[in-house]
Amino acid sequence: MAEVGRKRIVITGVGGLCAIGANADEIWDSMRNGRCGLKPLTFDRRDLKVNIGGEIPVIDDSSIDARQRMTMGRFSVLSSLAAKEAAAHAKLDLVALDRQRIGAIVGVAVWGADAVDESYRDVFLEGKKRANIFTVPRAMPGAAAAQVSITLGLKGPVFGVSSACASSNHAICAAVDQIRLGRADVMLVGGADTPMQYGILKAWEAMRVLARDGCRPFSDDRDGLVLADGAGMAVIESLEHARARGAPILAEIIGCGMSADANDIVSPTVEGPAAAIQACLHDAGISVEAVDYINAHGTATRANDRIETQAIRSVFGRHADRLSISSTKSMHGHCLGASGAIELIACVNAIQHGIVPPTIGYTKPDPECDLDITPNVARDRSISVSLSNAFAFGGMNAVVAFRKYQ
């Protein structure tokens, strides 16, 4: 049960960019209108069989210092741009505020794959004697958090989190803890990944889980996930701090739940995800009946969607049939470590606007996925509490609960 008197944590700004939008407003507009960003790949595919993904058409990185940009991998660029947008949205005055009390945590599932691919091309294909001098700082998983701190001058707790597809949600939980433990007043938190690279796509292709022509979560004809580039960042802070500086308050983070399957590196269980959902509700101090909307992990693989359905039913019982559920991955794709952060944008806006974004691409009901997954068209609904599910390879699970601020 939520502790009496513990710090309330609120979201005061969001930022993001992915295949369906160059900023958080564009992302939400695409989500609510069921706009798909998954298209044929435009870069040299060489011998790749996969030909669909969530590429970001144009990235305007002109606001980043040119010298710093030389040291940045693509995922660091995306996270820094999203963080700048979130900070502006939150009206953070980084000159007036104590930057020793502001930190950054960025979830990353992979690494700076563009830097790694470039070094392989340089050494093995072009015969160069050495890789780019900045290959390591461009590729290391913690670079995104470091570059956000450099971009904004943040001197509080700064580190990366890596737990595969649950990375963003684990980062959010860790950032909440930093504030509640008194180590920071404000945290920039989210995730970033750029798997639209030959090496990453080749590795995922070998697993035979990539869709051939689209992402159709929970639909009986689903045949796999679609990878995508993306980043999402949020400004979170204690309610007292937000009120004191007159910040806009978008929603409240009321609970975090984490668990491990302890079973298999790639095959999920029902019990692990269910335990994370239960832990999140317990941490939030709410009943199952309080939840209105769940942004599902919903990857569109045969096993994941079936397991997630069973986990939701096991926790929510009869209330499961009254829940609105959707997988926005059907539009923006699976952005790996960035997924939870982009889906935070969906959860917060769903609460603010009273709109459940749809699961697009749905064609045929699956008897084993018999929840209301908001097929194809958004739905108006008053939403007080939303959950964001993230269930990762390795059985690493993280669920976050958001509530309308009042």
List, in sequence order, every residue forming a beta bridge with 401; answer none if it has no partner: 255, 387
Instruction: Report the alpha-carbon distance of residue 215 to residue 363 in Å, rounded.
Output: 11
Axis crossing angle, helix 339-353 with helix 24-32, rounded to the nearest 10: 70
Q: Is the pLDDT of residue 1 over 50?
A: no
Kindly indicate the confidence band of residue 2, based on its pLDDT and cuts at 50, 70 and 90.
Answer: very low
- What is the per-residue pLDDT for 98? 98
Residue with tokens 């599932």: 109
- What is the per-residue pLDDT for 94? 97
224/325 same-domain check: no
Give me the catalytic one of 18, 36, 165, 347.
Answer: 165
- Alpha-carbon torsion angle 339, 386, 28, 53, nearest 10: 30
114/20 same-domain check: yes
Axis crossing angle, helix 74-89 with helix 24-32, rounded to the nearest 10: 90
Task: Write out the residue range of the structural domain in which residue 328 sits.
Answer: 256-403
223/351 same-domain check: no
Kindly indicate the confidence band of residue 75, based on its pLDDT and cuts at 50, 70 and 90.
Answer: very high
Domains in the chain, number = 2
Give me the catalytic one of 18, 334, 347, 369.
Answer: 334
Q: Which of 290, 264, 265, 262 is nearest to 277 (CA)?
A: 290
Q: Which of 116, 299, 124 is nearest to 197 (CA)?
A: 116
Instruction: Report the alpha-carbon distance of residue 394 to residue 398 in Å, rounded.
Output: 12
46/138 same-domain check: yes
What CATH number does residue 59 fall under? 3.40.47.10
Task: Please confirm, yes or no, whether 347 is among the known catalytic residues.
Answer: no
Q: Report yes or no on 194 lying in a domain.
A: yes
Q: Tell which of 218, 244, 270 closes a domain.
A: 244
65/97 same-domain check: yes
pLDDT tens for residues 245-303?
999 999 999 999 999 999 999 999 999 999 999 999 999 999 999 999 999 999 999 99
288/229 same-domain check: no
- Tell me, what amino acid is at 310? Q
Half-sphere exposure of 206 (CA within 13 A, CB side): 5
Residue 302 has which token pair? Answer: 């045969």
Q: Report yes or no on 250 lying in a domain.
A: no
Higher per-residue confidence, 6 vs 195: 195
Q: Is residue 158 within 8 Å of residue 174, measured between CB atoms? A: no
Q: Report yes or no on 354 lying in a domain.
A: yes
Q: Report yes or no on 1 lying in a domain.
A: no
Report the range of poorest mean pLDDT among 46-50, 136-140, 365-369, 382-386: 46-50
Q: Is the pLDDT of residue 310 over 50?
A: yes
Q: Which of 142, 144, 123, 141 is nearest to 132 (CA)?
A: 123
Give the mean pLDDT of the chain. 97
Q: Averaged over 340-353, what is the pLDDT?
A: 98
Give me the catalytic one of 89, 170, 297, 332.
Answer: 297
pTM of the full structure: 0.97
CB contact set of 289 (below 8 Å; sequence gap of 6+): 319
Q: Averaged over 9-14, what is the pLDDT?
A: 99
Share of the chain above pLDDT 90, in %: 97
Share of the chain above pLDDT 70, in %: 99
Task: Please confirm, yes or no, whether 297 is among the known catalytic residues.
Answer: yes
Residue 139 has which token pair? Answer: 């590729």
Q: Report yes or no on 156 lying in a domain.
A: yes
Instruction: Report the alpha-carbon distance of residue 328 to residue 333 in Å, rounded.
Output: 8
Q: Report yes or no on 251 lying in a domain.
A: no
Using DSSP's 3-state secondary structure scheme, residue 250 falls into coil
Task: Please confirm, yes or no, whether 282 is among the known catalytic residues.
Answer: no
- What is the per-residue pLDDT for 3? 53
pLDDT tens for residues 87-123?
999 999 999 999 999 999 999 999 899 999 999 999 9
Q: Tell which of 220, 244, 268 closes a domain.
A: 244
Q: Is the pLDDT of residue 328 over 90?
A: yes
Q: Is the pLDDT of residue 232 over 60?
A: yes
196/306 same-domain check: no
223/79 same-domain check: yes
283/195 same-domain check: no
Q: Tell which of 244, 271, 293 closes a domain.
A: 244
261/236 same-domain check: no
Residue 91 has which token pair? Answer: 């009206």
Half-sphere exposure of 25 (CA within 13 A, CB side): 2
338/267 same-domain check: yes
- What is the per-residue pLDDT for 44? 86
